[in-house]
Amino acid sequence: MRLLPYFTISICLLVSTWTVSAQAAPIHAAVAQGDITTVHRLLREDPDARMSRDEQGRTPLHIAAASGNLAIAALIISYQADVNAVDNEGFTPLHLASRARSAEIQELLVNSGADTLARDKAGNLPVPEKADDTAPVQPTVAETKVGVEQFSASITPKADALTTKATALGLLSSRLLIGDGEGGITVYDPAGKRGERIACPIAAKDVLHIRADAAGIWWMTGEPRRLLRYDASARKVTCYDISGVRLRPNASETASPPPTSFELWPGHVVFARANQVVFLDVEGQIKATEQVLPPDLAGQIRRSSMTRLSGADRNGIVLVAGPSTGVTEALVWRLVDGRWGAPIGMRYQIGAPAFVTPNAVTILTNPTGRTEKPVSAPKGPPREETIGGFSRILFHNGDAHKIEAFSEAPRRVLNGTLSISSDGAHVWCADGSILSHLDLSLGGASAFVPWNPPFGAAVDKHWRIAAQVVDGSRVWLATQNGVVRFPPDAPGAADGYAGYVKVPLGEFSMQPKTAAEKKIREQVIAWQGVPYLWDGATKQGVDCSGFVMRVFQTLGIKLPHNSKDIGLLPVGKRVRDSLRYGDVLVYPGHVGIYIGNGITAETVGGTGGKGVSYDSIWSRHDVIVRRFL
């Protein structure tokens, strides 16, 4: 029998592997469209969908392999799909992955048990592409050694460390590392409430990034780009001039700008961009991937065409690529039982950070706008709960090619410049001045909105979060108002959670519990769609305070027909700790009723006003919360 090269394929075969017939199951269309969210939902609802066939006899894994979608292929395999299933032509998924020239999917299939000797009806082998790990490595940096200088550390006691306008944060055991706008690092001891600032005479720019390991505290400053390391035993600061470290795909292309962040690998700092991973040791020597990592892993990374490093530690590496479509592909390599496995693929909206921890890889996705019906979740980890219109946390526990999705962070919370910190058990996300917290072990989620800023300060100026670092169930935050460990043990009567109001998230928070709350829900539904009318208070037309007044009137509670007066009433309670169903939210010149999960019922006027309808709390500032129930 004649063996065709893997790249020889007819037009008919190309059409057959990419076309989804009208008789195919919904999962086939979702795979062909690259819609991993729908694929995951369909597999959860019916795991047997993994073996459904279209009229060409193709399974969903065949389609993922033919289209080169690593993330979906890994997801389908995690549901125990048959990696050796054959279609009407005798093709296994490995045949199609080979013909699509997808080395990553080939490797995934082979590591999952694909038969490399399976022949199609024409007698052809899959012929998986064999990586040439012995090929010469292209130069990845302009120089092989950076400039290194050493200085005696300038150490200054700093009793007021938490008032620093920090630009970056890190942790070293129980101590907090605070980077400032002058290139210095303060090591703060929360137990002793004292700190020491470490400075270098040639570092006077904003600290961009901080990490710590056994070799010391590492931090990066702005232009000219420098990497600094503090050795506590020698009380020395070593300065590495990395302004000339310009990562590039190969020697012939124009050098890219120097790196803006880094991660730590045992004995090295690691930078990555444009599918090149470069290591810098403490002596200032620059090393390519193959000089540090095992050859098989180095080869996988070099072939991945990833654009940047998103996370790394001794347990794993996360590399991501962001094509122009706005969708990011992430590849995650995990070290399990001392061996590097095949890459786990994830597909999500572009711009999302990722974190590798000893127990998990956590990736935060930007919102996709997809709305799904809420589903109940099993108790205990891992837990999945999908809530309409929410962003996603993708969580991989390293045990299998399986991705768990946590969808409890509201779209508005995560719609701005994102930062995220995670320790594998807790995830803290920040968007501007809003926080959200996910407990991955228990599955609970909550958000925090800054509605009690100190000193009467404007939220955007004093509460925008510049940096954060997770510390167990809490997180250290750096704002223009200083550094705070959040949340405190208990909310205060004057400022709630250090200036924030807690917002429980999840479908449960939208369920009224008392008879009064149920009455409010009935009234909110009954008033939906009533048009806006200034000073109105009937179902022919109503304004914001008129709507709130009439709803509470049915409970025998008299409120004035004026939003400002409602906020100043001597009756009722001023809420500063946690929102509850039926709370009244008073904004400047406006008022609404809170119905849980970040949603309000209110009358919307002005241009495009919808009358009585629903809105959200996430863009609201200067809010007074009153409780009359």
The DSSP secondary structure of 346-414, one letter per residue, reads EEEETT--EEE-SS-EEEE--------------SSSS--EE-TTEEEEEEE-SSSS--EEEEEEETTTT
Token digits of residue 291: 């000089």
Residue 380: pLDDT band with limits 50, 70, 90: very low
Burial of 489 from C-beta contacts in 10 A (0-12 / 13-18 / 19+): exposed
Predicted local confidence at residue 525, as pLDDT: 93
Beta bridge partners of 185: 179, 198
Predicted local confidence at residue 513, as pLDDT: 93
DSSP state of 92: -
How far is 403 from 393, CA to CA, in rounded Å? 10
Nearest to 54 by CA among 32, 77, 75: 32
**Is pLDDT above 80 for 367?**
no
Over residues 550-576, the mean pLDDT reads 94
Predicted local confidence at residue 607, as pLDDT: 55
Predicted local confidence at residue 278, as pLDDT: 81
How far is 571 from 390, CA to CA, in rounded Å? 36
Predicted local confidence at residue 178, as pLDDT: 95
Predicted local confidence at residue 427, as pLDDT: 77
Half-sphere exposure of 356 (CA within 13 A, CB side): 23
Residue 24: pLDDT band with limits 50, 70, 90: low
What pLDDT, in 10s, does the model give residues 145-189? 788 999 988 999 988 889 888 889 999 988 999 999 889 999 999
Residue 341: pLDDT band with limits 50, 70, 90: low
**Is pLDDT above 90 for 229?**
yes
Burial of 253 from C-beta contacts in 10 A (0-12 / 13-18 / 19+): exposed
Nearest to 499 by CA among 524, 480, 520, 519: 480
Token digits of residue 295: 């050859």
Torsion angle in degrees (nearest 10) through CA of 227, 233, 235, 237:
-10
Predicted local confidence at residue 578, as pLDDT: 95
How far is 508 from 302, CA to CA, in rounded Å? 46
Residues 6+ apart with CB under 8 A from 130: none
Length of the chain: 629
Token digits of residue 489: 């043990």
Cβ atoms of 92 and 101 within 8 Å: the answer is: no
Q: Which of 131-140, 242-251, 512-521 has the highest mean pLDDT?
A: 512-521
**Is pLDDT above 80 for 580?**
yes
CA–CA distances in Å: residue 625 to residues 368, 470, 566, 592: 31, 29, 10, 10
CA–CA distances in Å: residue 629 to residues 249, 549, 563, 626: 63, 13, 18, 9
Cβ atoms of 395 and 383 within 8 Å: the answer is: no
Burial of 358 from C-beta contacts in 10 A (0-12 / 13-18 / 19+): exposed
Helix (H) or strand (E) holding 178: strand 175-179
Predicted local confidence at residue 1, as pLDDT: 31
Residue 345: pLDDT band with limits 50, 70, 90: low
pTM: 0.67
Cβ atoms of 27 and 60 within 8 Å: the answer is: yes
Instruction: Say which range, 22-31, 207-216, 417-426, 592-601, has the weakest mean pLDDT.
Output: 417-426
Stronger pLDDT, 91 or 482, i.e. the higher one: 91
Predicted local confidence at residue 277, as pLDDT: 76
Half-sphere exposure of 535 (CA within 13 A, CB side): 0
Instruction: Say which range, 339-348, 390-399, 511-520, has the weakest mean pLDDT.
Output: 390-399
What pLDDT, in 10s, does the model give residues 348-363? 544 455 555 545 555 5
**Is pLDDT above 80 for 13?**
no
Over residues 210-222, the mean pLDDT reads 89
How far is 549 from 564, CA to CA, in rounded Å? 13
What distance, in Å, lies between the first and last C-alpha atoms of the chain? Answer: 82
Instruction: Say which range, 93-97, 296-300, 532-536, has the weakest mean pLDDT.
Output: 296-300
Domains present along the chain, CATH in parentheses: 11-111 (1.25.40.20), 352-510 (no CATH), 512-627 (3.90.1720.10)
How far is 291 from 596, CA to CA, in rounded Å? 54
Question: What type of residue is 537?
Answer: A
DSSP state of 130: P
How far is 388 from 409, CA to CA, in rounded Å? 10
Cα 512 → chain centroid:
31
Predicted local confidence at residue 410, as pLDDT: 45
How far is 27 from 384, CA to CA, in rounded Å? 20
Say if strands 590-594 and 599-604 run parallel, antiparallel, or are unpaired.
antiparallel
Residue % of the chain over a pLDDT of 70: 69
Over residues 447-470, the mean pLDDT reads 70
Residue 82, helix vs strand vs coil: coil
Residue 85: pLDDT band with limits 50, 70, 90: very high
Nearest to 319 by CA among 356, 288, 286: 356
Stronger pLDDT, 67 or 139, i.e. the higher one: 67
What pLDDT, in 10s, does the model give residues 252-293? 444 556 777 888 888 889 887 655 678 889 999 888 777 888
Predicted local confidence at residue 12, as pLDDT: 36
How far is 115 from 83, CA to CA, in rounded Å? 8
Residue 70: pLDDT band with limits 50, 70, 90: confident
Token digits of residue 188: 């703060």
Q: Please compute Rg for the chain using Cα positions.
A: 28
Cβ atoms of 165 and 254 within 8 Å: the answer is: no
Cβ atoms of 478 and 468 within 8 Å: the answer is: yes
What pLDDT, in 10s, does the model give residues 514-532? 999 999 999 999 999 999 9
Please report where in the chains the tokens 């720019």 appear, as a residue.
205
Predicted local confidence at residue 210, as pLDDT: 93
